[in-house]
A and B are shown apart, each in its own frame.
Chain A
């Protein structure tokens, strides 16, 4: 059974650009959530989608947005990139909202 797949694995972008990250959950899982990991702040919750609906949102500016498609795949978009957006972005999938979360390998975003 395939795990959670995140693409791309690495990205280098320039300040002011925008970026889209993709996450394919485990087959049959309907919940996808996104986290940002930095050395200074640790793991911080961005948002969670369940059956194409955003269920919860973390404390991030509106430049961070996401969506979920009917096949449960999710995308996260960051517009007007800032140096501080450099981080490892992790996606997690669950079968139901309170079950075990499984994470992907992450996308390493570097903003220069």
Chain B
């Protein structure tokens, strides 16, 4: 059974510092991994999708890496801003079709 873990559960950084968020999964038989952002009481906003054949994806200040063999993905957010404060979730999609989510990392960026 696939299990997805996100560490740390919460993170507070001063504005301008780089953010490093970790995601690990137990079963490497995945189709893809997706990172999301969720603001309080809102839906999920897709940040990056990495297919199983890819090692990384970049979008603006965001960069996500994927090491399928070790069951790890890392999301880097460069030069954090207060607007980056949110909960970040990773999800893996396996052959069973559903997205399996981690519990999320709650990020606070202080001005």
Contacts and interface: CB of A to CB of B under 8 A. Distances in A.
Interface of A: 4, 6, 33, 35, 42-43, 45, 48, 55-56, 58, 88, 90, 92, 97-106, 108
Count chain B CB atoms within 10 A of each CB in A90, A101, A108 and give the residue with the most.
A101
A98 B99 CA distance: 10
B49 A100 contact: yes
Interface string B27-48: 0000110101000011111100
Contacts of A33: 98-99
Given A48-B97, A98-B93, A42 B49 contact: no
Contacts of B93: 98, 101
A98 B89 contact: no
Interface of B: 31-32, 34, 36, 41-46, 49, 51, 89, 91, 93, 96-104
Contacts of A6: 43
Contacts of B97: 48, 55-56, 97
Prevailing SS type, chain A contact patch: strand
A100 B46 contact: yes
A42 B104 contact: yes
Contacts of A56: 96-98
